[in-house]
Homo-oligomer: A and B are copies of this chain.
């Protein structure tokens, strides 16, 4: 985990202290259930909560024991015995280490997801608000990086909103995948532990019961979870790349907020760089890289091997921490994004109305010209405008219109006023409301 890309709320979920607290709760709830079954004394269960319920576990001490016994759960139980005394022998009765470890991981992933959902909601709120604000800020749509036809900044942002709304749904699904509890004993047969213990612990820890575990909770669940994070990270990259494009010098239709006293470059004082969105692009790669090892973790040997464990010690915290950070960084970028409607209009208009080429093509075919001929006719004039733009930096207002008006092959089919009528931009924004209705309901 890279600390500079971490928020405290998320790292705390993965701290050793949090982990041991969850371990304790699972063990102690387990004792309650075992006491209810009469397997262990009621007083023992009570004593365990009394002594451990508010205890601060000594992480360093547990580490020390682990170095000796080379087993983390045994180390914890040994430390627990130092607190609880004799009754500690009733703890972990019929449990296997993985019952604790896997259920704890479930709790941590579920809590991490809850935090991620907060981040998603902040991104969604920012996108919605800025989309409303720029609902009709006209801007050129670009395919292949080339001017195509007008759209609005609001539609662009609505598109990202819809994408993140899908991401949010996926995250809710992914949470269900991993919010499961397994307390099923050494290899999942409940030989030494009654299924009712699992039910009780699951309920107390807000988890579903894993219907059939081996020694571990099946790792296809975790693979699906990390894959989901990878898809969301890719959506972050998507909007980050958009903003980076909008800020590049020649486009400059939007800029990340640049605060007082900030320096864009140690060497070049004139620079203001989209470093946050570039950073988000990198963070997306970091989150995404967990997907492949998570999938490799699925095929464990027989009832389990422990190869998945080291992987999850890495990707469990790292992916959720970095994604959480990225979501909040992204939300901040969107909230504070400086958008320049004038520049958007200027960039679009430098091509002299070329963005109406399709509309014109369709009018010609409607007027009875074959599609092929119409295409050639429009393309021939369009390429001239293009050249004017390239050489002069600005094709000039009405450049495309004027060429069409003076092209005999065009005027043969369309009247002056028909031609002129094809150059209003409202034509392109007439369904913005439709789109907004679909997205924001």
Contact = CB atoms under 8 A, between A and B. Distances in A.
A104 interface: no
B211 A267 contact: no
From A77, A240, A299, name the one whose CB has the most chain B CB atoms within 10 angstroms. A299
A438 to B, nearest CB: 4
A106 interface: no
Interface stretch (A112-120, A190-198, A409-417): A190-198
B272 A386 contact: yes
Interface in A53-98: 68-71, 73-74, 77-78, 81, 86, 88-90, 92-97
A220 B167 contact: yes
Most buried by B among A189, A209, A266, A279: A266
Contacts of A274: 144-146
Interface in A321-343: 340, 342-343
A288 interface: yes
Given A195-B434, A220-B231, A148 B271 contact: yes
Nearest to A290: B289
What copy number does this chain have within its complex? 4
A272 B143 contact: no
A contact patch SS: helix
Interface string A153-174: 0010011001100110010010
A390 B141 contact: no
A73 B372 CA distance: 13
A85 to B, nearest CB: 11
B148 A268 contact: yes
A237 B285 CA distance: 16
Given A141-B189, A148-B265, 4 more contacts: A143-B304, A162-B212, A240-B299, A270-B382
A137 to B, nearest CB: 14
A355 B296 CA distance: 29
Contacts of A36: none
A406 interface: no
A224 interface: yes
A343 B394 CA distance: 12
Contacts of A221: 166
A186 to B, nearest CB: 5
Sort A-B residue pairs by CB-CB distance and give the 5 closest, nearest first.
A141-B187, A145-B248, A270-B382, A144-B273, A282-B310
Nearest to A39: B366
Output the residue of A86, A233, A278 with the most chain B CB within 10 A. A278
Contact of A96 (B267, B357, B375): B267
A281 interface: yes
A228 interface: yes
Contacts of A209: 438
A307 interface: yes
Contacts of A266: 71, 73-74, 77, 92, 95-97
Contact of A278 (B299, B305, B385): B305
Interface in A229-284: 230-231, 233-235, 237-238, 240-242, 244-245, 247-252, 259, 261-275, 278-279, 281-284
A371 interface: yes
Given A143-B302, A145-B274, A266-B96, A340 B375 contact: no
A421 interface: no
A218 B164 CA distance: 11
A313 B4 contact: yes
B299 A289 contact: no
Contacts of A262: 69-71
A383 interface: yes
B189 A149 contact: yes
Interface string A363-378: 0010000111001001
A358 interface: yes
A142 B357 contact: no
Interface string A402-441: 0000000000000000000000000111111011001100
Given A188-B141, A299-B238, A96 B265 contact: yes
